[in-house]
A and B are shown apart, each in its own frame.
Chain A
Amino acid sequence: MSPLPAGDPPVYAARNYLNTPATGLRSWLTTLDHKRIGVMFLVATLVAFALGGVFALLIRIELLTPGPTIMDAMTYNRIFTLHGVVMIFLFMIPAIPSGFGNFLLPIMLGARDVAFPRLNLLSFYLYLAGAAIALWGMIHGGADTGWTFYTPYSTTTTTKVVPILLGAFVVGFSSILTGLNFIVTTHTLRAPGITWSKLPLFVWSIYATSVIQILATPVLGMTLLLVAIEHAFGWGIFDPARGGDPVLFQHFFWFYSHPAVYIMILPAMAVMSEVVCAFSRKNIFGYKAVAYSSLGIAFVGFFTWGHHLFTSGQSPYDAGVFGVLTMFVGIFTAIKIFNWVATLYRGSISFKTPFLYFLGFLFFLFFGGMTGVALATVSLDVHWQDTYFVVAHFHFIMVGSTIMAFLAALHYWWPKLTGRLYSERWGLVGAVLIISGFVFTFLPQFLLGNEGMPRRYFAYPARYQALNVASSAGASVLAIGFSVVLVYLLVALRHGPVAGSNPWGSRGYEWETSSPPPLENFEVVPAFERGPHEYHDLPAAAPGAGEGRHA
């Protein structure tokens, strides 16, 4: 239980969730254990991430030359659609909440499991079912609408858009059930001593995410269903010739899909609030501000969707209202960034891999956020709309930040998940490759967009080639970086040194139990007297000091 590595060698818990009650495939597929479900979500979302990454590489190869390179225009349309659909619906939305959230949230509450374990397993199978339906559609032709499924094109295209719509629809239910489970768990299953003001910041942010998942996802389901119905039966809801309105689709779609950005970014913030405390060995600066700003983002995020419609025929009056409302999100994000940076101030910082990802996260969130405020200005957006500037903006703020957080979480909680340590040296190499590869890929796209290169075209004027080649080169660095991470993590799975219960010397509640945790999470019902981010009563020492032999 000692927060500092003592003289005893670290212990690999003999009885843990990986081997109780059994180790067979059947025991995994029928498990009700939130930790196993979380791990299965992690594996499934990582497979989706690899698939989406392959699509991304195909896009970057195609854009190496101004003309056709390896595919025709129609194939290109399908590839970028599948890249978007897979990355957003199958990776970014579920990865952190359903993966790490499932694994960590009950442990952080001192609970045995989530409130509805069966619903939790159902959520996983709904995810698999939705992914399978979408995959079937991809194999049988794919869709060419872009992941946003804009009408009237999506209701008239001859590609297999309906199975992909239905796949996303089913995955949405997985998201709703997970959110519901987390909210009820947080309200009802906190261990004695864990009051709302002693909740780990991870839980606060995941809770805010869950609220969005429950409130917004039904609107997505309704919208996707309407498009599928219109595609199949021609009801005319979005067809002006039949009294409908295509802009109505965009209102419905972005009522979900803008808050969905916060379904992706709030869990990233959840991870980072934990990482920043653990690796600067300091209490979070302004706990309440960080906790409540998560709820603030979740709330204000619902008032901004119209910024996607500035040039779509929305009234200028509504556009102005949405532009101003959008900028309010910046306030809450800025509060968080300020508090994280203030936490670092005079902290005992150690540059471990998760901390490096935190720095990358801070850069992408800030850079992406500021370009977002610029894009929320209606007159500037008229220039940038549907150019690579927007592509680069959302890849920085959503993808960059979320991937940084996902990798930080994977490395920070790897010892807890597997009971073993990864190679810190290779971890740093991987982090440098990924962060620089990401900047290298998307910085040229800001410039391309500002020069006017539109998104979603497979050919472009020759003067854009240099920056496109630079972007593709960055993408290959990114691919190498991810391969490095995959290899050393797989090696660590078998051959990594034993981590012990708390290799980082973290104060988070989840580090109080053994690694990997037992089936019941804690051997006895825990009672926590201190807060989850309190370091002030500890002597200043670098976290991870006990694993120096390994680094």
Chain B
Amino acid sequence: MTAHAGDAAVPAPPHSHRGRYLAVWIALLLLTGLTWGLSRSHVPGFAGVAIALGIAIVKGTLVALFFMHLWDRPGPSRLVLLSSLVFVALLIGLTLLDVSTRSPLALPPDADTAPEALRRTILEEEAAGRRSPPERLPRATP
């Protein structure tokens, strides 16, 4: 990109960070492997999710800082990224507010265990070849 008048104050740094990119790339691969290992080790419930999300945040931060050059460009560029995160929080926040305040009456009595049981049944049927993955459950009414 050629510099415009408004950008002139912040000269683009020379792109000679090959070693840095390589290190970040290796770190990302290691973290991906870590996530994969976590999924295999069956850390129970909330802790597993929290660790996986933590790894994802670290990876996202690495990409934003180094591959998207925010490390070299403080100021407005970082502000733009941070303010867009506000809207991500909004999307997730108000959606979770819905799920967390839904009336229990609206859910079937075994709502917390049924989906998992059903999922397992479906996976078993798929494994046994009785159900091909793209096939959907039959619809209630035609």
State whether these chains interact. yes
Give A residues with C-beta under 8 Å from B: 115, 152, 155-156, 184, 187-189, 215, 219, 232-234, 236, 239-243, 245, 247-248, 251-252, 255, 302-303, 305-306, 309, 313-318, 321-322
Distance in angstroms between the alpha carbons of A313 and B103 in the assembled complex: 9
Q: Is the CB of B122 within 8 A of A242?
A: yes
Distance in angstroms between the alpha carbons of A320 and B118 in the assembled complex: 33
Distance in angstroms between the alpha carbons of A315 and B97 in the assembled complex: 8
Q: Is the CB of B102 within 8 A of A315?
A: yes
B54 at the interface (CB under 8 A from A): no
Distance in angstroms between the alpha carbons of A423 and B70 in the assembled complex: 55
Distance in angstroms between the alpha carbons of A232 and B134 in the assembled complex: 6
Minimal beta-carbon separation of A233 from chain B (angstroms): 6
Distance in angstroms between the alpha carbons of A455 and B114 in the assembled complex: 34
Q: Which residues of B contact A302 (CB under 8 A)?
A: 87, 90
Task: In the complex, identify which listed stretch (B2-10, B13-21, B33-41) lies at the interface while the others stay far away.
Answer: B2-10
Distance in angstroms between the alpha carbons of A241 and B126 in the assembled complex: 14
Contact of B106 among A156, A236, A252, A313 (CB under 8 A): A313
Q: A188-B7, A241-B115, A302-B90 are in contact. Are A315 and B98 (CB under 8 A)?
A: yes
Q: Which residues of A contact B87 (CB under 8 A)?
A: 215, 302
Q: Which residues of A contact B115 (CB under 8 A)?
A: 240-243
Distance in angstroms between the alpha carbons of A232 and B119 in the assembled complex: 18
Q: Is the CB of B136 within 8 A of A156?
A: yes
B77 at the interface (CB under 8 A from A): no
Contact of A318 among B101, B118, B137 (CB under 8 A): B101
Q: A232-B134, A242-B122, A314-B98 are in contact. Are A187 and B90 (CB under 8 A)?
A: no
For B115-142 the 0/1 string (1 means CB < 8 A from A) is 1101100100000000001111101000
Q: Which residues of A contact B94 (CB under 8 A)?
A: 251, 303, 305-306, 318, 321-322
Distance in angstroms between the alpha carbons of A219 and B91 in the assembled complex: 9
B: number of interface residues (CB 8 Å): 29
Q: Is the CB of A234 within 8 A of B133?
A: yes
Q: A234-B136, A243-B116 are in contact. Are A321 and B97 (CB under 8 A)?
A: yes
Distance in angstroms between the alpha carbons of A152 and B139 in the assembled complex: 10
Closest to A235 in B: B133
Minimal beta-carbon separation of A316 from chain B (angstroms): 7
Distance in angstroms between the alpha carbons of A317 and B94 in the assembled complex: 11
**Majority secondary structure of chain B interface residues (helix, strand, loop or mixed):** helix
B84 at the interface (CB under 8 A from A): yes
Minimal beta-carbon separation of A350 from chain B (angstroms): 39
Q: Is the CB of B6 within 8 A of A187?
A: yes
Give B residues with C-beta under 8 Å from A: 4-7, 84, 87, 90-91, 94-95, 97-103, 106, 115-116, 118-119, 122, 133-137, 139
Q: Which residues of B contact A215 (CB under 8 A)?
A: 84, 87
Q: Could you show 9 A-B contacts with beta carbons less than 8 Å apart?
A: A156-B136, A233-B133, A241-B119, A242-B119, A243-B119, A251-B98, A303-B90, A315-B98, A315-B102
Q: Is the CB of B95 within 8 A of A248?
A: yes
Q: Is the CB of A317 within 8 A of B137?
A: no
Q: Which residues of A contact B139 (CB under 8 A)?
A: 156
Closest to B100 in A: A315
Q: Is the CB of A241 within 8 A of B98?
A: no
Distance in angstroms between the alpha carbons of A240 and B97 in the assembled complex: 19
Q: Which residues of B contact A248 (CB under 8 A)?
A: 95
Minimal beta-carbon separation of B109 from chain A (angstroms): 15
Distance in angstroms between the alpha carbons of A155 and B135 in the assembled complex: 11
Q: Which residues of A contact B119 (CB under 8 A)?
A: 236, 241-243
- What 9 pairs between A and B have smallest CB-CB spacing? A188-B6, A318-B98, A315-B101, A317-B101, A315-B102, A188-B4, A251-B95, A243-B115, A234-B134
Q: A241-B115, A322-B94 are in contact. List 18 more A-B contacts (CB 8 A).
A: A156-B136, A156-B139, A215-B84, A233-B133, A234-B134, A242-B115, A242-B122, A243-B119, A251-B91, A252-B91, A306-B98, A309-B98, A313-B106, A314-B98, A315-B103, A317-B97, A318-B94, A318-B101
Q: Which residues of A contact B101 (CB under 8 A)?
A: 315-318
Q: Is the CB of A234 within 8 A of B103?
A: no
Minimal beta-carbon separation of B86 from chain A (angstroms): 9
Closest to B123 in A: A242
Minimal beta-carbon separation of A423 from chain B (angstroms): 43
Q: Which residues of B contact A309 (CB under 8 A)?
A: 98
Distance in angstroms between the alpha carbons of A325 and B139 in the assembled complex: 36
Closest to B118 in A: A241
Closest to B6 in A: A188
Minimal beta-carbon separation of A309 from chain B (angstroms): 8
Minimal beta-carbon separation of A303 from chain B (angstroms): 7
Distance in angstroms between the alpha carbons of A245 and B99 in the assembled complex: 10
Minimal beta-carbon separation of B110 from chain A (angstroms): 13
Q: Which residues of A contact B98 (CB under 8 A)?
A: 247, 251, 306, 309, 314-315, 318
Q: Which residues of A contact B95 (CB under 8 A)?
A: 248, 251
Q: Which residues of A contact B5 (CB under 8 A)?
A: 188-189
Closest to A240 in B: B115
Q: Is the CB of A316 within 8 A of B103?
A: yes
Q: Is the CB of B4 within 8 A of A241?
A: no
Q: Which residue among B84, B98, B103, B119 has the maximum number of chain A CB atoms within 10 Å of its CB?
A: B98
Minimal beta-carbon separation of A179 from chain B (angstroms): 13
Q: Which residues of B contact A184 (CB under 8 A)?
A: 4
Distance in angstroms between the alpha carbons of A357 and B106 in the assembled complex: 48
Q: Which residues of B contact A316 (CB under 8 A)?
A: 101, 103
Minimal beta-carbon separation of B71 from chain A (angstroms): 22
Q: Which residues of B contact A189 (CB under 8 A)?
A: 4-5
Distance in angstroms between the alpha carbons of A156 and B97 in the assembled complex: 28
Q: Which residues of B contact A242 (CB under 8 A)?
A: 115, 118-119, 122
Distance in angstroms between the alpha carbons of A531 and B122 in the assembled complex: 67
Q: Which residues of B contact A152 (CB under 8 A)?
A: 136
Distance in angstroms between the alpha carbons of A241 and B115 in the assembled complex: 6
Closest to A320 in B: B101
Distance in angstroms between the alpha carbons of A305 and B103 in the assembled complex: 20
Distance in angstroms between the alpha carbons of A144 and B26 in the assembled complex: 47
Q: Which residues of A contact B90 (CB under 8 A)?
A: 302-303
Distance in angstroms between the alpha carbons of A155 and B116 in the assembled complex: 21
Minimal beta-carbon separation of B65 from chain A (angstroms): 20
Distance in angstroms between the alpha carbons of A219 and B84 in the assembled complex: 12
Minimal beta-carbon separation of A76 from chain B (angstroms): 18
Distance in angstroms between the alpha carbons of A505 and B37 in the assembled complex: 71
Q: Which residues of A contact B6 (CB under 8 A)?
A: 187-188
